[in-house]
Amino acid sequence: MPRRTREYIKIVSGLFGDHIAGWIFGAIGLLSLAGTVYLTRSNAGQGMVTVCLYWTAGISFAAVVWVFLRAQYDAWSAERDKFEAEQAKNSRPELNGSVNNITVSESDGGFAVRFYGRLCNIRQQATTARILVEFSTNSGRSYRMDAPAFQTRSAPSGEIGAFIQTPFDRVRLECGIPQSFDKAALICRNIPPQDLDLRSLRFMAEDSFGGVTQIGQAGLIVDFSAASSDQGQST
């Protein structure tokens, strides 16, 4: 027997058994019992008893057919839900990537987080992405801010030393094609560096559909700021 046929029989029989054990056959059983008691006490004739048995058998058969059709529908519905979920997943981009060369330094009374990285879209739906940084302060407040990044490429002319910088949020991310970015920088001037909790730094990418994905962090955070030394380095 083919594998799909075995799977189909297993799924439908399981659903069929669940419905058989449900309320409908319990109700039929109770009604049949009540009818039997009534006919016995009323001394009904054989003809009435036969009619009652026929009705009970007919209702039971109709219930079996209904339960079988319901099991068929439930099996189709479950598979349809899986298909639609997968279709919805494929209609949105899915990003993964990493950041590296992360440094934290003082900047105009606040701090700056600079880093490099790469992103790859693993779904068919193309997208663009902007880079975000999440962090918390030692006082317990949390933030999520833009970290504008650029992609640097050699100029088409081929001239040595000539480069073109494109804002990374304009770079189209196609399926399976990694794209690198550099000079990503979060500049935060209103929070003193000693209030930054280095361990809370998280790097994110937001696609053009509004989905936000955390990006992996490779290597250590090099701290050139006045952040408290007891925080240590994060990995």
Query: Does 86 lie in the same domain as 109?
Result: no
- In order of 17, 40, 63, 128, the CA distances from 10 in angstroms are 11, 42, 21, 44
Distance between CA atoms of residues 195 and 106, nearest Å: 12
- pLDDT tens track, the chain, 235 positions: 677 677 767 777 776 666 665 556 566 666 666 666 565 666 666 666 666 666 676 777 777 777 777 777 888 888 888 877 776 666 789 999 999 999 999 888 899 999 999 999 998 889 999 999 999 999 889 999 999 999 998 777 656 667 888 999 999 999 999 999 998 999 998 888 889 999 999 999 999 999 999 999 987 788 876 554 444 444 3
What domain range is 181 assigned to?
Answer: 95-226
Query: Does 105 lie in the same domain as 42?
Result: no
Query: Does 143 lie in the same domain as 74?
Result: no
Q: How many domains does the chain have?
A: 2
Distance between CA atoms of residues 173 and 205, nearest Å: 12
Helices (H), 21-122: 23-41, 46-90
Query: Does 56 lie in the same domain as 129?
Result: no
| Closest CA relative to residue 95, chosen from 59, 125, 135 | 125
Residue 235 resides in a domain? no
Q: At what angle do helices 3-20 and 46-90 cross, to 10 degrees?
A: 130
Model-level pTM?
0.60
